[in-house]
């Protein structure tokens, strides 16, 4: 019963109700946004655990490149609360107890007939955060359990607002020990190319990505090396108001300077369903997954990274599009449904604005 109560937890419900109210109340006058009445796509967010942010990530995306000369400029704020302290009896002591505030700036432009270039530049702040007290009060208010396999002792056992990222192997060697950090993250360039014509049913595109080592490696805001990868994206329209997006790719990881036991490559995938309530408002349910980027030695932590995201998108006016989302890891069902959500941040919120010149 407790698992069911958490699956229908308050934050996503409030998010969806709030979005529906906005959708009904906003004015419809004025010149139309070029994306008005079109599928808006998934939420551009993939499992943002600390190690994952060091490498190239293909964010879930619409499979339709911008038309020649079209431009989109975006800014996204991610509030990422990490709490991953599984039992050290599983092979190593892992403490991910911190928060990231992450500003992601993006620029997209269409070229030629069906090609799009995009650039992503993040600024990241790792610290004790602001969400611990809110999450603890939320758990207590609704009687939700604060402990699961990712934190058997429970959130109430630990001091609030800590900033710890630590790995100690089974022999007691400290492999990683990081606290607060602030600075530029890793810069990513993406080229998207349409593979199939855009029809009333669907389309397909390919993305090539390269990540440059612009982040501070000593503070583990960057890996210190270049990553490259390919992603295949598809969009299929189920009906008048329902669209499915699929994304599958792979990344070759450059060897990081300060991350212990890194892997040479990672697979990434995502599936999202968008429901268009009207020509302006959409609701999104998506699941993203990736293989680990390193081996920590803890068998629980070294599973697939999977998060479930509930999102809302709205075309505000001729130039502005807004979206918001809420993401959870596997503790919403105590890790009994790893295909839905598994290893990831305890909770994360994202808010984004995309501007159409």
pLDDT at 3: 45
**Residue 14 predicted with pLDDT over 50:** no
**Residue 30 predicted with pLDDT over 70:** no
Instruction: Give how far Cα 70 sits from Cα of 11, 78, 158, Å.
Output: 35, 26, 49
**Residue 1 predicted with pLDDT over 90:** no
Q: What percent of the chain has pLDDT over 90?
A: 83
How far apart are the C-alpha atoms of 36 and 116, rounded to whole Å?
Answer: 20
pLDDT at 264: 96
Provide the whole-model pTM.
0.89
What is the full DSSP assignment across 92-131?
Answer: SEEEEEEEEEEEEEEEEEEETTTEEEEEEEEEEEEES-S-
How far apart are the C-alpha atoms of 64 and 351, rounded to whole Å?
Answer: 22
Place of tokens 């611990």: 132
Q: How confident is the model at residue 5 (pLDDT cuts 50, 70, 90)?
A: very low
């Amino acid at each position: 019963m407790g698992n069911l109560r958490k699956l229908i937890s308050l934050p996503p419900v409030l998010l969806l109700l709030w979005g529906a109210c906005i959708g009904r109340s906003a004015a419809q006058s004025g010149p139309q946004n070029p994306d008005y009445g079109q599928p808006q796509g998934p939420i551009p967010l993939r499992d943002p655990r600390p190690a994952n942010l060091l490498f190239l990530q293909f964010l879930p995306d619409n499979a339709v490149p911008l038309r020649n000369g079209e431009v989109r400029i975006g800014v996204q704020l991610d509030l990422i609360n990490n709490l991953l302290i599984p039992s050290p009896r599983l092979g190593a002591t892992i403490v991910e107890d911190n928060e990231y505030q992450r500003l992601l700036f993006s620029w997209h432009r269409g070229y030629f007939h069906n090609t799009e270039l995009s650039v992503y530049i993040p600024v990241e702040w790792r610290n004790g955060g602001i969400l611990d007290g809110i999450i603890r009060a939320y758990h207590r208010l609704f009687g939700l359990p604060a402990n699961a396999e990712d934190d058997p002792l429970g959130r109430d056992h630990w001091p609030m607002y800590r900033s710890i990222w630590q790995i100690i192997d089974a022999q007691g060697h400290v492999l990683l020990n990081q606290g607060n950090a602030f600075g530029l993250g890793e810069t990513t360039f993406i080229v998207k190319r349409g593979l199939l014509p855009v029809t009333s049913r669907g389309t397909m595109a390919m993305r090539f990505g390269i990540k440059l080592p612009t982040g501070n490696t000593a503070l583990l805001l960057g890996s210190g090396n270049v990553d490259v990868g390919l992603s295949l994206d598809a969009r299929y329209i189920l009906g008048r108001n329902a669209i499915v997006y699929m994304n599958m790719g792979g990344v070759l990881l450059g060897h990081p300077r300060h991350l212990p036991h890194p892997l040479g490559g990672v697979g990434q995938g995502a599936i999202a369903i968008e429901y268009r309530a009207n020509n302006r408002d959409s609701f999104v349910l998506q699941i993203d997954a990736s293989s680990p980027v390193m081996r920590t030695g803890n068998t629980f932590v070294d599973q697939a990274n999977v998060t479930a995201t509930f999102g809302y998108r709205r075309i505000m006016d001729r130039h502005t599009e807004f979206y918001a989302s809420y993401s959870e890891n596997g503790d919403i069902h105590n890790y009994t449904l790893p295909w839905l959500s598994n290893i990831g941040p305890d909770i994360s919120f994202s808010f984004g604005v995309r501007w159409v010149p």
